[in-house]
């Protein structure tokens, strides 16, 4: 039985979306822009926000960089194929505010914010089981149907009670057979609104940073609220969340009595060190997210938690950020775990 904030919560649900979902396409574009600027100038400061849909892509935000980037070309390359060739790109990028720049210049955080890191023993990737099942199923379906799509898995304890899958250009009978061969559940809802062939930007609009729960750990685990894609690593919304996950995984190994670890960081703009850095060790609920009882709080120690220290520890200089734009930012083969 999972314990959530002191209440019994045997049922839990998580969803996943394919890389051709409109919101994830916007995340891909945002991180591709970031990669392009960093390739030309590793000290680039980038905060790119993307909105797209129905043949138009709008890029807004702030960039300070010695590099010159052909933004429309980056967008078209990220989208690829016919869609990339025919899309209209609107760019409105300005320089970073000098007031923000003053704090970042001295090694401080690019903004205030709260970051959450999480790790649990219930799966080999230290991610919540419902999240892992939804993501793995979505990846398997996307390999067959490389289009817009979603999956959702509901668990009662460790048993899947309902699986939902909707994929563009996927005949329902074929899709259902693949889902059933991939996961055992009490109920399957496959293309529940009917088969569909209009998806992605042709069917809907998207915005970068809108799938932040999927980017993190699913809805059972609280998050700080900041988005990741399109932001360079002086933005602690991103770098702080990554180091929080790394610490959570490390502490799970350090404290054998903990079934799960939640790390909480908080930063003030312009200050290099966090104003809060604690880890909550769940030693009482037997797995899942940290409960109200059986939680021990310990300080986070032994890490350089400044933006520069995080970048060095996690080897951000070798990262390709577009690789993070699909399938979530945690529980994969990244340096932060």
DSSP string, 252-308: HHH-TT-SEEEEEEEE-BT-SS-SEEEEEEE-SSSSSS--SSSEEEEE--S---SHH
pLDDT value of position 110: 84
Q: What is the pLDDT of residues 180-227, one digit of tens each?
A: 999 999 999 999 999 999 999 999 999 999 999 999 999 999 999 999
* 3-class secondary-structure state, position 66: coil
State the pLDDT confidence band at 285, using cuts at 50, 70 and 90.
low
pLDDT for 121 beyond 70: yes
pLDDT for 4 beyond 60: no
pLDDT for 286 beyond 60: no
State the pLDDT confidence band at 3, using cuts at 50, 70 and 90.
very low
pLDDT value of position 106: 79
Burial tier of 317 (Cβ tally within 10 Å: 0-12, 13-18, 19+): exposed
Global confidence as pTM: 0.93
Topology of the domain covering 22-98: GMP Synthetase; Chain A, domain 3 (3.30.300)
- Cα 125 to Cα 139: distance, rounded to the nearest angstrom: 16
As a whole number, mean pLDDT of residues 141-161 equals 97
**Which of 211, 236, 205 lies closest to 326, judged by CA?**
211
**CB count, 10 Å around CB of 245?**
28
User: Mean pLDDT score of the chain, rounded to an integer?
Assistant: 93
State the pLDDT confidence band at 2, using cuts at 50, 70 and 90.
very low
Q: What is the pLDDT of residues 11-31, one digit of tens each?
A: 999 999 999 999 999 999 999
Which overall architecture, per CATH, does domain 3-18+128-203 show?
A: 2-Layer Sandwich (3.30)
State the pLDDT confidence band at 289, using cuts at 50, 70 and 90.
very low
- Cα 295 to Cα 281: distance, rounded to the nearest angstrom: 5
- In the chain, ranges of CATH 3.30.300.10 domains: 3-18+128-203, 22-98
Residues paired with 297 in a beta bridge: 280
CATH 1.10.540 holds for 113-124+207-324:
no
pLDDT value of position 293: 61
- Cα 33 to Cα 331: distance, rounded to the nearest angstrom: 24
State the pLDDT confidence band at 1, using cuts at 50, 70 and 90.
very low
Measure the N-to-C terminal CA separation of the chain; round to a whole number of Å: 26
């Amino acid at each position: 039985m999972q314990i959530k904030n002191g209440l019994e919560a045997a049922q839990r649900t998580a969803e996943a979306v394919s890389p051709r979902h409109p919101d994830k396409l916007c995340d891909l574009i945002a991180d591709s822009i970031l990669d392009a600027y960093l390739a030309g100038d590793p000290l680039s400061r980038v905060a790119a926000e993307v909105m797209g849909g129905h043949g138009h892509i709008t890029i807004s935000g702030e960039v300070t960089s010695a590099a010159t980037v052909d933004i429309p070309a980056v967008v078209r390359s990220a989208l690829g194929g016919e869609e990339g060739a025919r899309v209209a790109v609107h760019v409105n990028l300005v320089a970073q505010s000098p007031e923000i720049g003053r704090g970042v210049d001295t090694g401080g955080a690019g903004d205030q914010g709260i970051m959450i890191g999480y790790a649990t023993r219930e799966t080999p990737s230290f991610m919540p089981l419902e999240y892992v099942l939804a993501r793995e199923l979505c990846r398997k379906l996307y390999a067959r149907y490389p289009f817009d799509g979603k999956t959702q898995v509901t668990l009662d304890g460790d048993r899947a009670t309902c699986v939902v899958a909707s994929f563009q250009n996927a005949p329902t009978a074929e899709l259902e057979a693949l889902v059933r061969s991939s996961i055992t559940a009490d109920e399957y809802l496959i293309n529940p609104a009917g088969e569909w062939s209009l998806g992605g930007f042709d069917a809907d609009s998207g915005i970068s940073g809108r799938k932040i729960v999927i980017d993190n750990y699913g809805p059972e685990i609280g998050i700080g609220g900041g988005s990741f894609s399109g932001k360079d690593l002086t933005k602690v919304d991103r770098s702080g969340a990554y180091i929080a996950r790394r610490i959570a995984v490390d502490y799970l190994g350090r404290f054998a009595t903990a079934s799960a670890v939640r790390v909480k960081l908080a930063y003030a703009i312009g200050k290099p060190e966090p104003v809060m850095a604690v880890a909550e060790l769940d030693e009482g609920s037997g797995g899942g997210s940290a409960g109200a009882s059986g939680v021990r709080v310990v300080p986070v120690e032994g890490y350089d938690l400044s933006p520069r220290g995080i970048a060095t520890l996690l080897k951000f200089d070798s990262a390709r950020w577009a690789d993070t734009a699909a399938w979530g930012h945690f529980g994969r083969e990244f340096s932060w775990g």
